[in-house]
């Protein structure tokens, strides 16, 4: 079929005749090179997302790393690698990927939120708050970030600030989150 695309119908007919009724694959130089041509950051990213969705985390991480090698500025590749590394339990590696994302795109709310979540789990509440406030500066309606921010502020005993954010959550339909006493 590739020969037909090259305006060489005689060669195409010859190859089709060689295939015969059992469907034996005939050598086709253009088709043989096609697999090499589709090795791009986008292809690796798609493969990585498919593996991630299927729970094949090692495979997903490998594909996202290939995407980054092909395009080091790929924000989706860094964010997805960070998410995959989180699933694999490599929290340090995940945080590094989210930080790399923020170097490329300082306004990436996914990277800010995911990094904040990791920091919160490490009890690094101050740094988590910085990233959560960055999310809310970009998207004031991100209730998940607002909820986590209230929790982080409360854990540090910053009750008046937590109550301001808590009020926004209450107005959005979340239940009251009590600030623990000092």
Yes or no: say if 136 and 146 are a contact pair by the CB < 8 Å rule: yes
76-90: per-residue pLDDT in tens? 999 999 999 999 999
Contact between residue 128 and residue 148 where contact means Cβ atoms under 8 Å apart: yes
The pLDDT assigned to 171 comes to 79
Determine the pLDDT at residue 165.
86
Going by pLDDT thresholds of 50, 70 and 90, the confidence category of residue 167 is: confident
What's the pLDDT at 2? Answer: 62
Using only C-alpha atoms, the chain has a radius of gyration, in whole angstroms, of 25
Q: Identify which has the larger pLDDT, 182 or 157.
A: 157
Cα–Cα distances (Å) from 50 to 62, 72, 73, 171, in that order, read 12, 20, 21, 38
Q: Which residue has the higher pLDDT, 166 or 60?
A: 60
pTM, two decimals, is 0.73
pLDDT tens digits for range 16-50: 666 655 555 667 777 666 555 556 889 999 999 99
Complete domains list, the chain, with CATH: 29-104 (1.25.40.10), 106-182 (1.25.40.10)
């Amino acid at each position: 079929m590739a020969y037909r695309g090259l305006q060489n119908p005689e060669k195409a007919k010859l190859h089709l005749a060689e295939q015969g009724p059992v469907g034996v694959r005939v050598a086709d130089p253009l088709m043989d090179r096609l697999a090499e041509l589709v090795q791009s950051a986008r292809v690796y990213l798609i493969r990585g997302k498919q593996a991630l969705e299927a729970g094949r985390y090692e495979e997903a991480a490998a594909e996202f790393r290939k995407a980054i090698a092909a395009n080091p500025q790929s924000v989706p590749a860094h964010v997805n690698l960070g998410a995959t590394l989180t699933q694999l339990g490599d929290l340090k590696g995940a945080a590094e990927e989210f930080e790399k994302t923020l170097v490329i795109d300082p306004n990436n709310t996914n990277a800010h939120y995911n990094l904040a979540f990791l920091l919160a789990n490490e009890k690094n509440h101050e740094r988590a708050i910085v990233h959560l406030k960055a999310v809310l500066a970009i998207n004031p309606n991100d209730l998940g970030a607002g909820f986590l921010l209230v929790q982080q502020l409360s854990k540090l005993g910053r009750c008046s600030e937590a109550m301001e954010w808590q009020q926004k959550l209450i107005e959005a339909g979340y239940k009251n989150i009590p600030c623990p006493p000092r």
